[in-house]
Chain A
Amino acid sequence: MKTALGLFVSSAIFTGTIAVVYWFIAHEPAGTMLLGFMSAALIVVALYMVFAERDADLYADDKDATMADAAGEHVGTYITHSPAPFWIGVALACVMLGLVVSPAAAGLGVVALFLLGGLLIVRSR
């Protein structure tokens, strides 16, 4: 995780530095804001990773770890099928097309998205 964290931190420092240099060279607000926001967004991810690292139990970062080290009762759950992604795609397509051609279609898409969200919450309980 340290390498991964380093990637985000170094990217944030790099883009932040470029933002400052760019402002003093070009005095151009649009690019400076974009670079600045990018740096800030990377810092947010890096901060999340600092906290996430505390809970992480990564055998992958141990050079000498074996498969047996990671064995245990809880191996995670991997679903192989779900109808939700397809219907979310259909509903979002309705919303986006509805914005262009028909508010009714957009409303239908929004309702479908809410129903799907509710269904997923109920199922996850």
Chain B
Amino acid sequence: MTAAAAARVTPPERHDLLSWITTTDNKRVGILYMGTTLLFMAVAGLLAMAIRTQLARPGATILEPHAYNQIFTLHGTAMIFLVIAPFALGLANYLIPLQVGAPDMAFPRLNATSYWMFLFGGLIVFAGAATNEGAASAGWTSYTPLSEITISTGLGQDFWIVGLAMVSVASIMAAINFVTTAFIHRAPGMTMWRLPIFTWEMIATSLLIFMAFPSLTATLLLLFVDRHLGGHVFDPAFGGSPILYQHLFWFFGHPEVYVLILPYFGVVSEVISTFSGRPLFGYTGMVLAAFAIAGLSMGVWAHHMFTTGAVNNPFFAFVSFLIAVPTGIKFFNWICTMWGGSIRYTTAMLYAVGFLMNFLLGGVTGVMVASPPLDFQAQDSYFVVAHFHYTIGGGSFFALFAALYYWWPKVYGWRLGERLGKAGFWLTFAGFNVTFMPMFFMGAFGMPRRVYTYAAGGALPLLNVIATAGAFMLLLGGILFVVNVVVSARRHEPAGDNPWHGYTLEWATTSPPPEHNFHALPPIRSARPLFDVEQAQQAKAT
């Protein structure tokens, strides 16, 4: 169907509030998902600023201990459950149908339902702060007995449980949609081995969600039963076991780390390939590595429990070390993709390179804490805080911004400013490293995590004040992004359909795409259909 014919038969899109509330269009649901996660990110970021302000100097009394506990619990919960993972779900909502050449998701209503469940679940978690004893304060892991009714007596913990149960089910529903769409709704010629790498990474992520999230939902329900229905499942006084809670939680919790990172591996692969002007090096290896990571990640949960003495440390250490192999393959492939390419250092590419540098540090320190003798030293110290922030913050967070700058023109039809974008990147990159690098040393000097103050002597006061200064740089970087959005929206510089010279199908449609995604599709004969079209046109011209 030509564009003119499509325009004749397609009714004009509605943009009123009701149309957004009732939408089942994959792109709008994606935008709702991503917009909501960015708002949650702003709140969780401000909570982090409160934490860093309190810790800027020893003995500070800006926050009282209970408030501090609530704030770090909400910060961790929001960043993990309501920001990094669901942003990827939103991006996948937008991109998977476009990348596979489908007009929509396989189950549009289920898709929209997953968004509303995610939104209400997230709001319920935050609403806990308005209850008598405030929000949940047992940390994002909510270990028992800390989260049991005997210690966490307030409603905030219950809000946390039921809110996250909704978010968990919403994630499973979204994953069902992604896998079904990628398997069943591909355009003619789009074989599985021609799928763009982002879609492949989302299939691996969805498999992980299927396998891991039911464990989270079950754990939350059991905790609720313990708190209100006299379950005693995790209560050792009645034959229950807090170690069982840790098994169930981490059976979800460690794969969750890969749910947080695999989609962003896909983002970085797309960005690096486009801005290096080369196809992704080792496409098949990248796909297999994603599934190797996903599979192995299901067998490492108890490396979070080394110090309990209740698990088989050598088994979990060995499998944890193994994950470094497929991750290493991905790193080499990204470097080989850039090697000899015509690299364009756009803002998106800078964020992707920043991701590589930060994530490498996160990964290497991950191998360190996968070793039980080292983990016994680092457990519950700021070393671990630095490690997972380099992985999730320096990794996923940077790739999230790479995705924003890369696909923004496709979503809105206009670009984000490059000058402000690059300034924001350097501020964020510097701020991130100034914030989290000192934390490795804090951990080495014995500072435990989740403490609201510390002793005045030694190196800790200086390291903490440096980290707090870095956090304010990060905040400034975030503000610069908002300024860039406002300035660029006013400038409204049209981007065109394919501003970055990308080769995957989403760049074959208009910016923004029509309601049914495509007016026409090019023939699909490889993983890079637009490259094939370009080559054919060049051959015809000569």
User: Which residues of A pack against B, CB within 8 Å?
Assistant: 1, 3-4, 7, 10-11, 14-15, 18, 22, 25-26, 28, 30-31, 34-35, 38, 41-42, 45, 56, 58-67, 69-70, 76, 78-86, 88-90, 92-93, 96-97, 99-101
Cα A65 to Cα B529 with chains together (Å): 14
Q: Which 3 A-B pairs have the closest CB atoms?
A: A89-B116, A60-B186, A85-B112
Chain B residues within 8 Å of chain A by Cβ, number: 66
Nearest A residue to B245 by beta-carbon distance?
A30
Contact residues in B for A89 (Cβ distance below 8 Å): 113, 115-117, 119-120
B189 touches A22 (CB 8 A): no
9 A-B pairs whose Cβ atoms sit less than 8 Å apart in the complex: A4-B183, A7-B207, A11-B207, A25-B315, A38-B211, A60-B191, A67-B187, A67-B188, A81-B22
Cα A34 to Cα B299 with chains together (Å): 10
Cα A28 to Cα B316 with chains together (Å): 13
Partner of A66, one of B162, B166, B188: B188
Cα A25 to Cα B25 with chains together (Å): 49
Q: Looking at the complex, which of B83-91, B446-454, B515-523 is the stretch in contact with chain A?
A: B515-523
B516 touches A65 (CB 8 A): no
Nearest A residue to B104 by beta-carbon distance?
A78
Asked if B203 is at the interface of the complex by the 8 Å CB criterion, the answer is yes
Cα A3 to Cα B200 with chains together (Å): 12
A30 touches B184 (CB 8 A): no
Cα A10 to Cα B121 with chains together (Å): 34
Tell me the residues in window 185-239 of chain B with beta carbons closer than 8 Å to chain A beta carbons: 186-193, 203, 207, 210-211, 214-215, 224
Partner of B162, one of A7, A41, A97: A97
B191 touches A34 (CB 8 A): no
A100 touches B188 (CB 8 A): no
Contact residues in B for A4 (Cβ distance below 8 Å): 183, 192
A interface secondary structure, majority? helix
Partner of B108, one of A41, A78, A100: A78
Contact residues in B for A42 (Cβ distance below 8 Å): 210-211
Nearest B residue to A75 by beta-carbon distance?
B103
A80 touches B25 (CB 8 A): yes
Q: When A60-B190, A78-B104, A80-B515 are in contact, do A22 and B120 touch as well, CB less than 8 Å?
A: no
B518 vs chain A, min Cβ distance (A): 10
B interface secondary structure, majority? helix
A28 touches B159 (CB 8 A): no
Partner of A96, one of B165, B244, B295: B165
Contact residues in B for A61 (Cβ distance below 8 Å): 191-192
Cα A45 to Cα B193 with chains together (Å): 21
Contact residues in B for A1 (Cβ distance below 8 Å): 183
Nearest A residue to B110 by beta-carbon distance?
A85
Contact residues in A for B41 (Cβ distance below 8 Å): none
Asked if B248 is at the interface of the complex by the 8 Å CB criterion, the answer is yes
Partner of B124, one of A3, A31, A82, A97: A97
Cα A70 to Cα B215 with chains together (Å): 40
A60 touches B302 (CB 8 A): no
Contact residues in B for A65 (Cβ distance below 8 Å): 188-189
A86 vs chain B, min Cβ distance (A): 5
Q: Among the interface residues A7, A30, A64, A66, which one has the most CB atoms of the partner chain B within 10 A? A: A30
Cα A56 to Cα B184 with chains together (Å): 8
Cα A7 to Cα B302 with chains together (Å): 25
List 10 additional contacts besides A60-B191, A93-B120; criterion CB under 8 Å.
Answer: A3-B192, A10-B291, A18-B298, A30-B244, A34-B248, A66-B523, A82-B112, A92-B117, A99-B224, A100-B158
